[in-house]
Amino acid sequence: MPLLAWIGFLWILASMSCLDRYGLAESAPGLTGLLAPDKIAHMCAYAVLTALAFRVGYGRRAPLVSAAPVFCAVLFSLLHGVAEEVHQVYVPGRMASAWDLLADGIGAAAMGLLLILWTDRPRGPSRVGLWLQALRGALPVRPRTSAGVVSARVE
């Protein structure tokens, strides 16, 4: 349900003809424009969308989703970004922008990277997850084998 609510929120924002009054006016195109408030908002919005899509798909029994839940969540976010840009073509006062789509992709990919580092994989908890658990004192630090892989045995 949170995923559908977030998609609805993004759809409402994309339907607004003018976001200048909220400080989200279109920025100048280019790589420096990626640091503008509207592009940062795109990155954050699509990072949240990716996290919510991952939450829906993680642990499901669908073959593709269970094999690569992060990839599916990032792909879903990118496809949603394309749909939003096409939607904006039909909204008076708005236009589609490849820079917006790039900002969407950066946000989705950044969240995807965080999810890869954070989640448990079939071979055991991630290194970041083990490190954070060790910091909290929840688990002793696991010894590493000679190949640098974390041992599955807790002592």
User: Where in the chain are the domains?
Assistant: 2-119
Query: pLDDT tens digits for 73-109?
Result: 999 999 999 999 898 888 887 788 888 899 999 999 9
Angle between helix axes 127-136 and 98-118 (nearest 10 degrees) is: 60
- pTM equals 0.69
Return the bridge partners of 144, or none.
150
Residues 6+ apart with CB under 8 A from 41: 24
- Cα 38 to Cα 19, 26, 43, 61, 99: the distances in Å are 9, 6, 9, 37, 10
Instruction: Give the Cα separation of 91 and 142 in Å (integer).
Output: 55
